[in-house]
């Protein structure tokens, strides 16, 4: 264990995988260990490597570990309708007993799901492709965009994460800029991160959407100059996830999209984290910003834990995509996945989960704001619906990040039976993305645990 903390093993997860039972985990590592760990593996890594929870069952917003202890899941962003929802379980069993095959053949479920998904989207977003993860979906979206514009140049937001394949790491500053990463590829430009709490950035004097979008224009110039390309794909989440749960200033994406489209570029919305009703007031994150993307990427909640991802593009872009008619993916669009996707949409609509996300989310944000009055560690509270974050600082004036404190708070609430995590470039943002079945009763459990942790860690 000491070797892991002190950084001698480059990948603590590897050790856990090789010999998980040989670890004696100290649930309360002394501060000295935590310091060594954050220095040795970098401030942006989650602090909970060697304490990885071993879970055996899920029920609604709860996860149960191998000792039978129940944990309230306040962060698992893949199960919008709750762990092991009976209707999802039933859909898997029913379809698995009848047919599962690949995209060599059409199946009715694929056609139905495609209709249901595209009916949820605005504008001309009508052509759906099915894959198995968010990474694959982003890969395909970029491939469609690049084929259509005939260029590889891509503008991304700082600290964005779009997946873990080689191609996605290339466009994910969160990955390639970190320790163990590599130089920024020359076909990628990074636009300054639009963060109202930590901005303004690089000479931008106002925190309006338009001011931030000027940086996207600068990146379009830069990527064009470097690659000789006349157009670029622009890919962005609609609320920044690993960038720290940052809600962009109003009008930001609209102004950024205008810049990109004026150069003939394609706008891609990565809705892997913020789609499917989580933000509460709208079904898609991009609707918060009043934009209609050219391509929408979906993952995580679309299958509620079952591996599924999707890309929806306009017919115009799909027509440019050389392999469009023959797009083949061994498991993408398989009938079991499609049955799951349909069940998830039925549940979100049938159980009013989007409205619930708004109600519970607003309640949580209001309670977090109240905590700011009592706990000086709370620097900023932000989010929409059940997609929220609390940025912790040691000093509200200098905004010095409280990174170590954030890690201790995650540990503290876990000891009280609540699961959360940290994010952001400074790893000082507590993030909350519970299943959308989270109600006030669950929110109160989280808030009570958080109050106790803030009181102890902030003392």
In the complex, the residues that contact ligand PLP under the rule CB under 6 A are 133-135, 138, 161-163, 237, 241, 270, 272-273, 299-300
SS3 320: helix
Q: Are strands 387-395 and 188-191 parallel, antiparallel or unpaired?
A: unpaired
Residues 6 or more apart in contact with residue 350 via CB below 8 angstroms? none
- CB 247, min distance to ligand PLP, A: 15
| Closer residue to ligand PLP (CB): 134 or 434 | 134
Cβ 313 to ligand PLP shortest distance, Å: 17
- Is the Cβ of residue 146 or residue 162 nearer to ligand PLP in the bound state? 162
* Residue 57 in tokens: 């069952």
Please, which residue, 48 or 416, has the CB nearer to ligand PLP?
Answer: 48
Q: Of 440, 407, 449, which Cα lies nearest the Cα of 424?
A: 407
CB closer to ligand PLP out of 92 and 131? 131
Q: CB 276 → ligand PLP: shortest distance, Å?
A: 13
d(CA 277, CA 385): 9
In whole angstroms, give the CA distance from residue 190 to residue 37.
Answer: 29
Residue 246 DSSP SS3: strand
Closest approach, Cβ 433 to ligand PLP, in A, equals 10
Rank residues 308 and 348 by Cβ distance to ligand PLP and give the closer one: 308
| In the complex, least distance from residue 310 CB atom to ligand PLP, rounded to whole angstroms | 11
Positions of E strands within 250-368:
266-270, 295-298, 309-313
Of 49 and 363, CB closest to ligand PLP = 49
- Cβ partners under 8 Å of residue 301, min gap 6: 77, 78, 79, 80, 81, 275, 276, 278, 344
Distance of CA 458 to the CA centre of its chain: 28
DSSP state of 203: T
Q: How far apart are CA 458 and CA 380, in angstroms?
A: 15
How far apart are CB 300 and ligand PLP at their closest, in Å? 6
Nearest Cα residue to 429 out of 417, 437, 421, 438: 421
Q: How far is the CB of 228 from ligand PLP (least distance, A)?
A: 29
We find the least distance from the C-beta atom of residue 274 to ligand PLP, in angstroms, to be: 8
Give the separation between CA 239 and CA 98, rounded to whole angstroms.
39
Q: Is 121 left (phi over 0), alpha (psi -120 to 50) or beta?
A: beta
Q: Which is nearer to ligand PLP, 270 or 442 (CB)?
A: 270
CB of 301 or CB of 379, closer to ligand PLP: 301
Residue nearest to ligand PLP (CB): 134
């Amino acid at each position: 264990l000491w070797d892991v903390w002190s950084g001698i093993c480059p990948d603590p997860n590897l050790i856990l995988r090789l010999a998980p039972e040989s670890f004696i985990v100290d649930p309360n590592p002394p501060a000295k260990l935590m310091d060594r760990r954050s220095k040795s593996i970098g401030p942006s890594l989650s602090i909970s490597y060697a304490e990885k929870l071993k879970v055996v069952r899920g029920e609604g917003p709860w996860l149960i570990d191998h000792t039978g202890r129940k944990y309230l899941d306040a962060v698992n962003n893949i199960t919008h309708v709750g762990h092991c929802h009976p209707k999802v379980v039933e859909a898997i069993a029913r379809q698995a007993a009848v047919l599962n095959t690949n995209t060599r053949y059409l199946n009715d479920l694929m056609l139905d799901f495609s209709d249901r998904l595209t009916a949820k989207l605005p504008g001309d977003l009508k052509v759906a492709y099915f894959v198995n993860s968010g990474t694959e979906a982003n890969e395909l979206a970029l491939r469609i965009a690049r084929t259509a514009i005939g260029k590889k140049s891509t503008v991304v937001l700082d600290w964005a994460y779009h997946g873990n394949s080689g191609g996605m790491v290339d466009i994910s500053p969160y990955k390639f800029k970190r320790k163990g990463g590599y130089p920024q590829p020359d076909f990628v430009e990074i636009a300054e991160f639009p963060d109202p709490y930590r901005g303004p950035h690089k000479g931008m004097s106002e925190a309006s959407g338009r001011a931030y979008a000027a940086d996207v224009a600068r990146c379009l110039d830069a990527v064009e100059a470097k690659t000789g390309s006349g157009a670029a794909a622009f890919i962005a989440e609609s609320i920044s996830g690993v960038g720290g749960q940052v809600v962009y200033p109003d009008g930001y994406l609209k102004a950024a999209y205008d810049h990109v489209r004026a150069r003939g570029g394609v706008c891609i919305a990565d809705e892997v984290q913020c789609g499917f009703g989580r933000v509460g007031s709208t079904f898609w994150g991009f609707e918060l910003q009043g934009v209609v993307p050219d391509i929408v990427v979906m993952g995580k909640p679309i299958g509620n834990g079952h591996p599924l991802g999707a890309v929806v593009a306009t017919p115009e872009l799909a027509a440019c995509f050389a392999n469009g008619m023959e797009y083949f993916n061994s498991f993408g669009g398989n009938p079991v996945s499609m049955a799951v996707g349909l069940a998830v949409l039925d549940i979100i609509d049938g159980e009013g989960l989007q409205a619930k996300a708004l109600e519970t989310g607003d309640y949580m944000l209001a309670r977090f704001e109240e905590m700011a009055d009592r706990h000086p560690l709370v620097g900023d509270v932000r989010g929409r619906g059940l997609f929220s974050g609390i940025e912790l600082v040691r000093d509200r004036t200098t905004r010095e990040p409280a990174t170590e404190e954030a890690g201790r708070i995650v540990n503290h609430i876990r000891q009280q039976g609540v699961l959360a995590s940290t994010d952001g470039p400074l790893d000082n943002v507590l993030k909350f993305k519970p299943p959308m079945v989270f109600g006030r009763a669950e929110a109160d459990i989280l808030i009570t645990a958080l109050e106790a942790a803030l009181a102890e860690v902030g003392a």
